Structure formats: C-alpha cells, structure tokens
Amino acid sequence: MRLIGRTVRAMLHASELVVHDGREELARHERLIAKGGCRLDLDHYLEALARKPGALPGATALDQARSAGRFPPVHDAWWAAAVKAHGERDGTRALIEVLLLGRHLPHEHLVTGLAAALTTAEITSCVSGLRP
C-alpha cells in the first residue's frame, strides 16, 4: 500500500526480476521464460485471504506453493487439525496467521513449529510460531 502512486525500478535479468524503490530491494522473483507464463506467490495474497479465508482452498497461488515445496504436507496436516479444532473459517484463518509468521521466521523453523504443534493438544498459530 505504501507504494501506490510511486514509481519503482524493475530490472529484468536473465534468470530473475528485481524491483527496487530507491536503494531498497522490494522483490526478487524467478524470471518466467515461457511466453504467457504466470507464477503467483502465496505470500502476496495472505492479507486478502485473511479477510476471505474461504478463497484459500481453491487458490492458484496455493497450488503453485505446493508444487514449489513451499507448502509441504505438514502445512496441510496442521491446517486439517486447525479446521477440526476451530471450524473451516477460523481454522483457515489460523493457518493464514501461521503463514504470515513465515515473513519473520526461516521457512524450516516454521515447518518445525508446525510439526511440533501437531504433537500437542493445542492447534493455534501462536503455538506453531513459538516452537523451536
């Protein structure tokens, strides 16, 4: 939101696209070689999905995250447990909160936290994010 109306600099390299605002790097993405190709980053949609969690199960960005290994089976297992414990909407919202934690934690720590949380009786985003 902070960049609406601002001009940013996009640099297209042989294997990646890099976007800068002044000296700050805003984004770095793998370049798609195929004409008309599309790659969606699930992280870019998390705030919108938090408002409309029912859109997550059929989201193309979720399918692409699974294919890329960024949404491994432990995520699905935790999500299923959260839905069972809290219902479809609130369980999915809890998953989205966990995915938002991924902006501040290394991916492997998030995966470890989800796996550890599955062994406890409490399935909450707080428990998952705080486990080592």
pLDDT digits (tens, 9 = 90+) for 15-71: 999 999 999 998 888 888 888 888 899 999 999 999 999 999 999 999 999 999 999
pLDDT digits (tens, 9 = 90+) for 74-116: 999 999 999 999 999 999 999 999 999 999 999 999 999 999 8
> What pLDDT is recorded for position 131?
46
Q: Which residue has the higher pLDDT, 2 or 45?
A: 45
Burial category of 12 from C-beta neighbours within 10 Å (exposed 0-12, middle 13-18, buried 19 and up): exposed
- Give me the residues paired with residue 9 across strands: 20
> What pLDDT is recorded for position 132?
44
User: Cα angle at 51 between 56 and 94, to 5 degrees?
Assistant: 65
Q: How far is CA 91 from CA 57, 67, 77, 123, in A?
A: 12, 22, 12, 9
pTM for the model stands at 0.76
Whole-angstrom Cα Rg for the chain? 17
